[in-house]
Amino acid sequence: MLPKGTVEPGETDEQVALREVMEEAGVQNVRPVADLGEERYRFYWPPERAFYDKTVHYYLLEWLGGEDPKPQAEEGFEVAEWVPIDEALGRVKYRETREILRRAREILAQDRR
């Protein structure tokens, strides 16, 4: 799962990305590298008996080091790990999220040229 959350009043999509990475993964020492676009999906939430239509905007962030990830336990996150992007692609179960990771991999590959 990739960090994501709700836009608060006055926030840009990029500010939300930075805040959510800090809140959910406990990582602050990052800088935005590229806009990865949006993921849109619908889901049914049984406890509320409601359908939700969500749009999530993602950014590729570079970790600048100096800190260990600390997952947000109160939200049910147990582990935050650094893994190679191909391994991450194998772990993600949603097609839309895999597409976001593929975009990140393409950008990273271009940077190496």
**pLDDT tens-digit profile, the chain (113 residues):** 888 888 999 999 999 999 999 999 999 999 999 999 998 888 999 999 999 998 899 999 999 999 999 989 888 888 888 899 999 999 999 888 899 999 999 999 987 76
Measured CA distances, 53 to 24, 50, 85 (Å) = 22, 10, 27
DSSP bridge partners of 63: 30
- 75: helix, coil or strand? helix
Residues 55 and 33: their CA atoms lie apart, in Å, by: 21
The pTM is what? 0.83
